[in-house]
Structure 1
Amino acid sequence: MQDPFKGFNDNNDNNNGNGPQGLPLPPNYATVVNPETGNMRIAKVGFAWIALLFPVVPPIFRADWYNLLCILGVNAGVQMILMMTVGNNAEIVGLVQLGLELLWGFIYNMMYFKHLFNKGFVPADERSRDLLTNAHYWKAPKN
């Protein structure tokens, strides 16, 4: 298969067959695998645009129930605090909502990978390991 991301993956323009069945991956996607079960996950590293616009959609599509409950809990807690303190002041509520949406956009992918690492996943290849290390998502375990 022709690599649609040719020229974006590495300096040597090597074949980027890091995905399932050797399919090419975009340069900002990492592959992690659980060595015990053989489960593989592929996800973007960096800003989550869908989490910015619709914070609950990425965890639902990824079956990431832990982080979905975290997002819903934080949003509900902030809404309760806002209702008790500022009431119906739409400007303040809107700014706080925008701040929460930006927060989820910036940290959701990191939350997803960190939860996978806690469940025993590790980077599947050297390219993913380098990408996750450079983004400060992965810290190699000390022996």
Structure 2
Amino acid sequence: MQDPFKGFNDDDDDQNNQNGDGPQGLPLPPNYATVVNPETGNMRIAKVGFSWTMFFFSPLPSIFRADWYNFLCIVGVEFGSFMLLSMTTSASQFVAIINYAFTLFFGLVWGSLYNLMYFKHLFNRGFRPADERSRDLLTRTHYWSQPKE
């Protein structure tokens, strides 16, 4: 059995800390990336891949991350779609069925795209991958491409 406390104070990267260092030396899950803004020193850690929280609780994760740009985009698209739906249909039972279908559809869309949208917005604001592991993960998943000098 491995010692759960071994590796937190060691300088070498042993089996307990293979995924890179998060804040205060804690290990990160393999599908999380760290980005930092070199000008301000702000650091953000977020998951790469499908966002289950966005699937179930859309658009609350964008509020919790203070990602107001993507929050307004998501609310605008959903509000516009539901307004268009309500203008084109009249039978209330049919509207309820279509409403559930739209909710599932938007859950899948935002769950698939939100983390990508979040990282792209951070990169536009000047954030860069904080370490080599995050850079490799973001490049491999096509979230990050090397800026052209």
**Counterpart for residue 146 of structure 2:** 140
| 2-structure distance, mates of 1:127, 1:48 | 20
Residues 107 and 2 of structure 1, relative CA distance in 2, 3 Å threshold? farther
| 2-structure distance, mates of 1:46, 1:2 | 30
| 2-structure distance, mates of 1:2, 1:111 | 37
Q: Identical aligned pairs, as a percentage? A: 64
Aligned residues: 135
Q: CA deviation at 1:2?
A: 4.7
Which consecutive aligned stretches of 4+ in structure 1 deviate over 3 angstroms post-superposition?
Answer: 12-17
Q: Does 1:44 align with 2:47?
A: yes
Residues 94 and 2 of structure 1, relative CA distance in 2, 3 Å threshold? farther
TM-score for both structures, normalised by structure 1: 0.87
- Secondary structure (helix, strand or coil) at the match of 1:58 reads helix
Q: Does 1:94 align with 2:97?
A: no
Q: Does 1:30 align with 2:33?
A: yes
| 2-structure distance, mates of 1:111, 1:128 | 17
| 1-structure distance, mates of 2:20, 2:135 | 15
- Secondary structure (helix, strand or coil) at the match of 2:101 reads helix
Please point out which of 116, 121, 125 is paired with 2:122. Answer: 116
Q: What letter is aligned with 2:28?
A: L
TM-score for both structures, normalised by structure 2: 0.84
- Which structure has the bigger radius of gyration? 2
Structure 2, unaligned runs of 5 or more: 8-13
Question: Is residue 20–residue 133 contact of structure 2 (8 Å, CA) maintained in 1?
Answer: no
| 2-structure distance, mates of 1:138, 1:74 | 25
Q: What letter is aligned with 2:139?
A: T
Structure 1, unaligned runs of 5 or more: 4-11
Q: Residues 97-131 of structure 1: CA distance to partner in whole angstroms, max 9, x if unpaired?
A: 21011101100111100000000000001110111
**Counterpart for residue 63 of structure 1:** 66
Q: CA deviation at 1:94?
A: 1.6
After alignment, is 90-99 or 14-23 more displaced?
A: 14-23
Q: Residues 58-117 of structure 1: CA distance to partner in whole angstroms, max 9, x if unpaired?
A: 111111111111111111000001001123322222212210111011001111000000
* RMSD (Å), alpha carbons: 1.7
